[in-house]
């Protein structure tokens, strides 16, 4: 049913740290690897080795440059995957009931055997989190690795989304936003987690932790701001070096 649950006891989602992400795309690759070989239709590629490769991805990293006047520009890597919205417009537009939001944990999923591939849900998502697979003609989206997080066949430490598990910088965190004491809730409260495109009224669950303000270091015209902190090395040489130093000075 494409009616949304009034509320969900759990709100599983991601806290993504824009200050930490280094834009390595490891999460993109691991997401694709896990999701192409597990639940549902594989994530197809077309012309993979040709001139115009295209393919289905559930997680993509954009890289932005932010420039304030009189300041050096700042690079912000921006991972983007489904935000598992509470008021998910992608679910309510679906004519077949293939798109749904789970009442128990709020994960937004597509039942592929009901999906007709009309693409309407992808139009309704403001974040570009849904992609129609050209091979299978069904809608693909982030499942929050629903087949990992509850999977008792996996070792405990692997029971989190593939992107979170793989991130070498620890920029992605998985947890329950309905629980104010959870890791993600605390992190988001502390850092003022961003709600993406709030004006679209989708009430996303995922939060983006904004880049921390850059330290405003006064350099007094000295380009190398660290040099003054270095201990001077070998101020007065001793031994052989000392003799050499004196000898050379004498010439």
Q: Which of positions 130-159 make contact with ligand SF4 (CB under 6 A)? A: 130, 139, 141
Check residue 93 for interaction with another protein (CB under 8 A): yes
Q: Which of 26, 132, 169, 187 binds another protein (CB under 8 A)?
A: 132
Could you give the CA distance from residue 231 to residue 112 in angstroms, rounded to a whole number?
64
Of residues 9 and 95, the one with the C-beta less far from ligand SF4: 95
Neighbouring residues of 168: CB distance < 8 A, sequence distance ≥ 6:
24, 26
Q: Which of 14, 109, 115, 145 binds ligand SF4 (CB under 6 A)?
A: 115
What number of other Cβ atoms are within 10 A of residue 149's Cβ?
Answer: 18
Check residue 175 for interaction with ligand SF4 (CB under 6 A): no
Could you give the CA distance from residue 142 to residue 131 in angstroms, rounded to a whole number?
10
Of residues 149 and 208, the one with the C-beta less far from another protein: 208
Q: What are phi and psi of 94, to 5 degrees?
A: -65, 125
Under 8 Å between Cβ of 166 and 30: yes
Q: What are phi and psi of 229, to 5 degrees?
A: -85, -10
Q: What is the DSSP letter of 187?
A: H
The owner of tokens 């930490």 is 20
Q: H/E element holding 149?
A: helix 146-149
In total, the chain counts a number of residues equal to 251
CB of 29 to ligand SF4, least distance (A): 9
CB of 226 to ligand SF4, least distance (A): 26
The owner of tokens 């128990």 is 104
Q: Which of 107, 125, 162, 209 binds ligand SF4 (CB under 6 A)?
A: 125
| CA-wise closest residue to 238 among 246, 226, 229, 248 | 246
Q: Which does 187 bind (CB under 5 to 8 A by kind): another protein, ligand SF4, none?
A: none
Q: Mask of contacts with ligand SF4, 72-101, x by CB under 6 A?
A: -----x-x--xxxx--xxx--xx-x-xx--
* Residue ranges in contact with ligand SF4 by CB under 6 A: 21-27, 61, 77, 79, 82-85, 88-90, 93-94, 96, 98-99, 108, 110, 115-121, 125, 127, 129-130, 139, 141, 166-167, 169, 171-172, 202, 204
* Residue ranges in contact with another protein by CB under 8 A: 1-3, 18, 23, 28, 52-57, 60-69, 71, 73-76, 78, 80, 89, 91-98, 114-120, 122-128, 131-134, 136-139, 194-197, 199-201, 208, 210-211
């Amino acid at each position: 049913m494409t009616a949304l649950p009034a509320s969900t006891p759990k709100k599983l989602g991601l806290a993504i740290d824009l200050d930490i992400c280094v834009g390595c795309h490891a999460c993109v690759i691991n997401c694709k690897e896990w999701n192409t070989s597990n639940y549902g239709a594989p994530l197809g590629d077309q012309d993979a080795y040709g001139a115009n490769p295209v393919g289905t991805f559930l997680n993509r990293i954009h890289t932005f440059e932010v420039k304030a006047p009189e300041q050096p520009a700042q690079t912000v890597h921006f991972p983007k995957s489904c935000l598992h919205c509470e008021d998910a417009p992608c679910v309510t537009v679906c004519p077949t009931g293939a798109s749904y939001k789970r009442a128990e944990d709020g994960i937004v999923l597509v039942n592929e055997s009901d999906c007709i591939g009309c693409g309407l849900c992808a139009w309704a998502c403001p974040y570009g989190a849904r992609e129609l697979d050209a091979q299978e003609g069904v809608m693909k989206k982030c499942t929050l690795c629903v087949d990992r997080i509850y999977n008792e066949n996996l070792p405990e430490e692997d029971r989190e989304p593939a992107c979170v598990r793989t991130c070498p910088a620890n920029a992605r965190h998985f947890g329950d936003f309905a629980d104010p004491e959870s890791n993600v809730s605390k992190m988001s409260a502390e850092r003022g987690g961003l709600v993406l495109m709030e004006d679209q009224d989708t009430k996303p669950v995922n939060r983006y932790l904004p880049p921390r303000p850059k330290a405003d270091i006064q350099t007094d015209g000295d380009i190398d701001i660290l040099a003054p902190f270095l201990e001077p090395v070998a101020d007065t040489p001793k031994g052989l070096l000392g003799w050499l130093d004196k000898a050379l000075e004498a010439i």
